[in-house]
C-alpha cells in the first residue's frame, strides 16, 4: 500500500479496517430498548443506545465530535455533519447527526440502513451464498465516458474489469462481464445482462470520475434506500418507491464498505482521497436484483490522478482491491445465522 499516494500511520491500518469492523462486533447484547427521539419530524436514535446495543465500552465527546470505541473499532461522528467514520472509512449519512438536550442522535434510517449492516454483516440473510460476480465496465463504444489528455474512461474501466475477472477466476469465482470489448450497451442492457444470471451473484460497476481539476479520490455508490434521495439531489416522490436493488439494502452497504475500504487500502490512503460511501439512484443500482455497487476509482480530470491511470500498476491496484473486497465481503456476510436487525 502507499505505492501511489503518501500515507500516514493513522491511516496505514485502514487497509484492514473493514476486516475489523466486520468481524469484531458479534457479541451484541439482547435489545434492551432503543432510545428513540423525534427531531424535525424524524426518528433519531441516541448514541448512548448504540453504545449499549453494540457493546462499545467507551463513548467520548470532545467539542462536537463523538467517538464510540471498542477494542478494534472506532465509530466517529460530528454533530451537524452527515459524515460518519468507521475505523477511518467515511460514510455519508442521509441526515446530519443531531444534538437534542443532553443527547446526540443518529437518524434511524442511517442506523438501520447504513451502520448496522456494516457492524453486523453476518446478520444479512443469505448474502454469502454466491459464487458469481458480474462485472460492469462502464461506458463503451460510442459512449467514451470521461476523457483526459491520455485516454478515455471506457478503456480504463475495461482494463480494470479484465484484470478483476482474472483475479476472481483464480479464486474460484464465476465471472460475467456486461461487456468484454469496446462496445456500446445501454444502462438497461447492463441491467438485463445481470438479471439474466440465474444463480446468486453480486454486481460491481467500474467507473472513473470527472469534475474539475481539484476534485480527486475514490467514491463508492450504493443504492439509496426508499425515502433517501440521490446524492446531492433533493428528495422527490419517486424516491419513496422500492426498486429491485432495494431488496438488498443491507448487502449493498456491506459490499460497498468492503470495496471502498479495500480499494483505498490498496492505492494508499489519505484524507483527501476518501470521498466516502454515498447513496445514488443510478440505473444499474436501481435495476439489478443482486447486491450492487458502483465504484469511481479516481478522477480523470485531476492532473495527477489522470497520469496515475496511465500507470498499469494503478489499475492493477484498483482491481486487486476489489478482488480482495469480494472475498472479504463473502466471509463477513457468511459469518453466522441471521437475526433481527435493531430499531425496526
Ligand atoms: Zn463513468
Q: Which of 87-101, 211-225, 266-280, 304-318 has the lowest mean pLDDT?
A: 266-280
Q: Which residue has the cell 477466476?
A: 169
Nearest to 152 by CA among 136, 162, 139: 139
Cell numbers linked to 244: 429491485
Query: What is the separation of C-alpha 140 from the centre of its chain, rounded to a whole number of angstroms?
Result: 24
**Alpha carbon of 85 to ligand 1 centroid (Å):** 26
The H or E element containing residue 319 is: helix 312-333
* Distance, CA of 344 to CA of 341 (rounded, Å): 7
Band (pLDDT 50/70/90 cuts) for residue 335 is low
How far is the centre of ligand 1, averaged over its atoms, from the C-alpha of 138 (Å)? 5
How far, in Å, from the CA of 207 to the mean position of ligand 1?
Answer: 4
Mean pLDDT of the region 73-92: 91
Cα 262 to the center of its chain, rounded Å = 10
Residue 144 C-alpha to ligand 1 middle, in angstroms? 8
Domains of the chain and any CATH numbers: 27-119 (3.30.457.10), 132-333 (3.40.630.40)
User: What confidence category does residue 340 fall into, taking pLDDT thresholds of 50, 70 and 90?
Assistant: low
pLDDT tens by residue, 170-190:
999 999 999 999 999 999 999
Distance from C-alpha of 216 to C-alpha of 275, rounded to nearest angstrom: 8
Query: Interior CA angle at 316 toward 285 and 152, to 5°?
Result: 65
Residues facing 70 on adjacent strands = 73
**Ligand 1 center to 76 CA (angstroms):** 31
Ligand 1 centroid to 11 CA: how many Å?
A: 28
| pLDDT at residue 198 tops 70 | yes
Report how far ligand 1's centroid is from the alpha carbon of 317 (Å).
19
Distance from the alpha carbon of residue 291 to the mean position of ligand 1, in angstroms? 19
In which band, very low, low, confident or very high, does the pLDDT at 297 lie, cut at 50, 70 and 90?
A: very high
- Quote the ligand 1 centre to 212 CA distance (angstroms): 15
CB neighbour list of residue 45: distance below 8 Å, 6 or more residues apart? 34, 35, 36, 37, 105, 106, 107, 108, 111, 343
Give the containing element (helix H, strand E) for 223.
Answer: strand 218-223
Q: Apex CA 92: angle with CA 301 and CA 208, to 5°?
A: 25
Compute the average pLDDT of residues 258-281.
86
CA of 133 to the centre of ligand 1 (A): 20
DSSP string, 106-127: EEHHHIIIIIHHHH-GGGSTTT
Measured in Å, residue 42 CA sits from the centre of ligand 1 at: 34
**How far is ligand 1, taken at its centre, from the CA of residue 268, in Å?**
22
* Least confident window among 23-32, 147-156, 194-203, 285-294: 23-32
What is the whole-number distance in angstroms between the Cα of residue 161 and the centre of ligand 1? 13
- Interval between CA 259 and ligand 1 midpoint (Å): 17
Rg (CA), the chain: 19
268 confidence band (pLDDT: 50, 70, 90): confident
Residue 210 alpha carbon to ligand 1 centre in Å: 8
Look up the pTM and report it. Answer: 0.86
Amino acid at each position: 500500500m502507499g505505492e501511489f499516494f503518501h500515507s500516514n500511520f493513522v491511516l496505514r491500518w485502514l487497509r484492514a479496517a473493514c476486516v475489523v469492523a466486520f468481524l469484531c462486533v458479534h457479541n451484541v447484547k439482547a435489545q434492551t430498548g432503543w432510545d428513540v427521539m423525534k427531531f424535525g419530524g424524524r426518528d433519531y436514535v441516541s448514541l448512548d443506545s448504540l453504545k449499549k446495543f453494540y457493546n462499545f465500552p467507551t463513548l467520548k465527546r470532545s467539542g462536537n465530535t463523538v467517538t464510540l470505541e471498542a477494542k478494534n473499532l472506532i465509530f466517529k461522528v460530528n454533530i451537524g455533519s452527515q459524515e460518519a467514520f468507521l475505523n477511518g472509512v467515511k460514510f455519508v449519512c442521509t441526515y446530519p447527526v443531531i444534538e437534542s438536550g443532553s443527547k446526540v442522535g443518529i437518524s434511524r434510517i442511517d442506523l438501520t440502513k447504513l451502520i448496522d449492516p456494516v457492524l453486523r454483516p453476518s446478520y444479512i440473510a443469505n448474502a454469502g451464498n454466491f459464487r458469481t460476480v458480474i462485472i460492469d465496465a462502464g461506458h463503451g463504444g460510442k459512449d467514451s465516458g470521461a476523457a483526459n489528455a491520455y485516454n478515455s474512461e471506457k478503456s480504463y474501466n475495461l482494463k480494470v474489469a479484465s484484470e478483476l475477472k482474472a483475479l476472481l477466476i483464480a479464486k474460484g469465482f464465476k465471472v460475467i462481464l456486461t461487456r468484454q470489448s469496446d462496445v456500446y450497451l445501454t444502462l438497461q442492457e447492463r441491467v438485463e445482462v445481470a438479471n439474466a444470471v440465474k444463480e446468486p451473484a453480486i454486481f460491481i460497476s467500474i467507473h472513473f470520475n470527472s469534475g474539475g481539476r481539484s476534485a480527486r479520490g475514490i467514491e463508492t455508490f450504493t443504492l439509496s434506500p426508499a425515502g433517501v434521495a440521490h446524492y446531492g439531489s433533493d428528495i422527490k416522490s419517486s424516491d419513496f418507491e422500492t426498486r429491485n436493488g432495494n431488496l438488498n439494502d443491507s448487502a449493498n452497504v456491506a459490499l460497498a464498505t468492503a470495496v471502498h475500504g479495500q480499494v483505498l487500502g490498496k492505492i494508499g490512503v489519505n484524507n483527501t482521497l476518501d470521498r466516502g460511501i454515498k447513496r445514488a439512484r443510478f440505473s444499474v443500482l436501481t435495476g439489478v436484483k443482486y447486491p450492487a455497487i458502483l465504484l469511481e476509482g479516481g478522477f480523470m480530470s485531476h492532473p495527477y490522478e489522470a497520469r496515475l491511470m496511465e500507470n498499469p500498476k494503478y489499475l492493477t491496484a484498483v482491481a486487486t482491491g476489489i478482488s480482495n473486497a469480494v472475498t472479504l465481503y463473502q466471509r463477513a456476510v457468511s459469518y453466522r445465522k441471521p437475526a433481527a436487525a435493531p430499531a425496526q
